[in-house]
Amino acid sequence: MQQVQALLFDVFGTVVDWRSGVIRDVTAVAGRAGAPLDAARFADQWRAGYRPAMDLVRSGQLPWTKLDGLHRRVLDELAGEFGLAGLPAAELDWLNTCWHRLDPWPDAVPGLARLRQRYVLAAFSNGNVALLVNMAKRAGLPWDAILSAELFRRYKPDPQTYLGAVELLSLDPARVMLVAAHNDDLSAAADLGLATGFLPRPAEHGPGQQANLAPTREYTVVATDLTDLATQLGT
Amino acid sequence: MQQVQALLFDVFGTVVDWRSGVIRDVTAVAGRAGAPLDAARFADQWRAGYRPAMDLVRSGQLPWTKLDGLHRRVLDELAGEFGLAGLPAAELDWLNTCWHRLDPWPDAVPGLARLRQRYVLAAFSNGNVALLVNMAKRAGLPWDAILSAELFRRYKPDPQTYLGAVELLSLDPARVMLVAAHNDDLSAAADLGLATGFLPRPAEHGPGQQANLAPTREYTVVATDLTDLATQLGT
């Protein structure tokens, strides 16, 4: 752990609270349209559609598509189902960028600020570069670099994303730690020799969340949140 | 100009003073070795060797090599010529990373801080990602993103670097401005439809500099330095 020099952060769920942000913005859009809906269900279905859309890219059925584009594919399907199909185009465009306007968990900015004093901090996300840049500016996330999956035109958990980030940092894998609230992401990183830091985000999926409440294998560090991680990493 | 949303910055010479930084660190190394040398000539020759080394990559004679690697090729040649060939390896390793430890011009950090309030700011340099990240952390350069040539495995002025950066920002070229102290860089960007901002750095090459003292074609903005650019861009 002493040898770690850079921290890669999963973003959606680990650093920012996507569910509350999507609920907030779809509620605003539906309110303006006079078309009330179950905003929590909308948010959950939008997020649930992301993995199958991404898998179309990962399997080669769809050419490389930025996450903004995948979000839009799912949104266009959901809009009909939730009575938003008649929205003005500008409203749908704005709603699709709600993923750029997500709020950080309360511990995220203070934790990252402390960690940044000693480590290189990079966003390491399937979010595209513009999404992550806009999010960081709005939320005050103090990244040293944006190492988006878009740089590699591969989505996590493709090994080329983890190894690509490590190569761009000019470090050995053991000197780079992936920090995430998701066991599948951490497991892929651990298999490639990266250090790993798990923290649970029990409210990520709202009440009743079952997955990722605890580590499912041994990680380099297990923390309660990002300020606890900062403490455990000596900052 | 109203439509510009993101600013790409050339770094070496435009944002940081490479010549003084190289002189400082090679003087320190030579002093420790008891091998005095003409540090200014050393710095100028090291920088002069960068373009031919890069052209070996651009022409395909050398496979993709990070700028740290190109710097090392030139350094290993110069070390013999300047009486540093017997240096301990750790000293040569340290000297090669002097490009990570360059100081900004005095107007750079205040100018960038103002510009960042309204624009997305990205380092856009032939420097590799780790070099640019280390430099930014040490010097306090407030980048929103590091859009290194390394991301494209092409060196400026290859069109794919400018267009690649624009694509990662999800913007049209006209909404992106290249800011640089070098006419060749700006000319390549202008030919691809980017906005352009020139500022002279008359001390970049030390006393007697002849090139890049003034714009050689029409640019979107011509400023005296980065604080003047901030003023002209309304920040």
Task: Answer yes or no: is pLDDT of A1 > 70.
Answer: no
The answer to whether residue B145 neighbours chain A at the CB level (below 8 Å) is: yes
- Give mean pLDDT, residues A186-211: 97
CB contact under 8 A, B136 and A144: yes
Q: Name every chain B residue with its beta carbon within 8 A of the beta carbon of A130.
A: 168-171
Burial degree of B7 (CB within 10 A; 0-12, 13-18, 19+): buried
Cβ distance of B137 and A151 shorter than 8 Å: no
Q: Is A113 part of the contact surface with chain B (CB cutoff 8 Å)?
A: no
pLDDT digits (tens, 9 = 90+) for B39-71: 999 999 999 999 999 999 999 999 999 999 999
For chain A, what is the HEC assignment? CCCCCEEEECCECCCECHHHHHHHHHHHHHHHHCCCCCHHHHHHHHHHHHHHHHHHHHCCCCCCCCHHHHHHHHHHHHHHHCCCCCCCHHHHHHHHHHHHCCCECCCHHHHHHHHHCCCEEEECCCCCHHHHHHHHHHHCCCCCEECCHHHCCCCCCCHHHHHHHHHHCCCCHHHEEEEECCHHHHHHHHHCCCEEEECCCCCCCCCCCCCCCCCCCCCCEECCCHHHHHHHCCC
Cα dihedral: B162, B20, B198, B10 (round 10): 10
User: Considering CB atoms only, which of A133, A137, A168 is closest to B129?
Assistant: A168
Give the number of other Cβ atoms within 10 Å of residue B113's Cβ.
17
Mean pLDDT, chain B, integer: 97
- pTM comes to 0.97
A vs B, Cβ pairs < 8 A, gives 53
- Using a CB-CB cut-off of 8 Å, the residues of chain B touching A129 are 145, 168-170
Residue with tokens 């590699």: A152
- Nearest CA distance, A5 vs chain B (angstrom): 11
Asked if B101 and B136 touch (Cβ cutoff 8 Å), the reply is no
pLDDT in tens, A144-157: 999 999 999 999 99
Instruction: Tell me whether residues A170 and B128 touch, CB distance under 8 A.
Output: yes
A170 vs B68, B144, B168: nearest CB: B68
Tell me the ipTM for this assembly: 0.97
Interface membership of A150 toward B (CB under 8 Å): yes
Chain A residues closer than 8 Å to B129 by CB? 145, 168-170
pLDDT (tens digit, 9 = 90+) per residue, B171-196? 999 999 999 999 999 999 999 999 99
User: In the structure encoding, which two tokens stand for residue A127, read together?
Assistant: 């979010």
| B193-217 per-position pLDDT tens digit | 999 999 999 999 999 999 999 999 9
Contact B170 A136 (CB under 8 A): no
With CB atoms and an 8 Å threshold, state whether A169 touches B145: no
Give A148's contacts in chain B (Cβ within 8 Å): 168
Q: What percent of chain A has pLDDT over 90?
A: 98
Summarised one tens digit per residue, pLDDT across range B116-167 is: 999 999 999 999 999 999 999 999 999 999 999 999 999 999 999 999 999 9
Spatial distance between the Cα atoms of A203 and A209, rounded to a whole number of angstroms: 7
Q: For chain A, say whether B136 makes contact (Cβ under 8 Å).
A: yes
pLDDT per position as a tens digit, A216-231? 999 999 999 999 999 9
Mean pLDDT of B85-108: 96
Residues of B in contact with A171 (CB under 8 A): 130
Taking 80 as the threshold, does the pLDDT of residue B9 lie above it? yes
Residue in chain B nearest A142 by alpha carbon:
B144
Nearest CA in chain B to A164: B151
Question: How confident is the model over B106-120, as pLDDT tens digits?
Answer: 999 999 999 999 999
pLDDT at B204: 98
Alpha-carbon dihedral angle through residues A195, A201, A205, A207, given to the nearest 10 degrees: 150
Q: Can you give the pLDDT at residue B1?
A: 62
